[in-house]
Amino acid sequence: MTAATATQARRGPSTCRPARPGGAAYWERVEAIVDQAPPLTDEQRLAIRLAIWGGVTRKAAA
């Protein structure tokens, strides 16, 4: 599996990518950067989930 294929497999099919100057070359650069990044640790995933969903649960509880 190539790096690009692995990235697509992780994200699933993408049908809506906003138009950018440079077109497909822009998204190729983005995917190359993502492919080079190490996987997130469990602590990083938790911090992201709390940043996104933490406020929602507090609002629901209030």
Q: What is the pLDDT of residues 37-60, one digit of tens each?
A: 999 999 999 999 999 888 665 555
- Under a CB-based contact definition with an 8 Å cutoff, are residues 35 and 6 in contact? yes
Average pLDDT of every residue of the chain: 77
Residue 26: its pLDDT value, please?
A: 86
DSSP 43-54: HHHHHHHHHHHH
As given in the structure block, the two tokens for residue 8 are 């697509």
- Provide the CA 56 distance to its chain's centre, in angstroms: 21
CB atoms within 10 A of CB 59: 8
7: exposed, middle or buried (Cβ count in 10 Å: 0-12, 13-18, 19+): middle
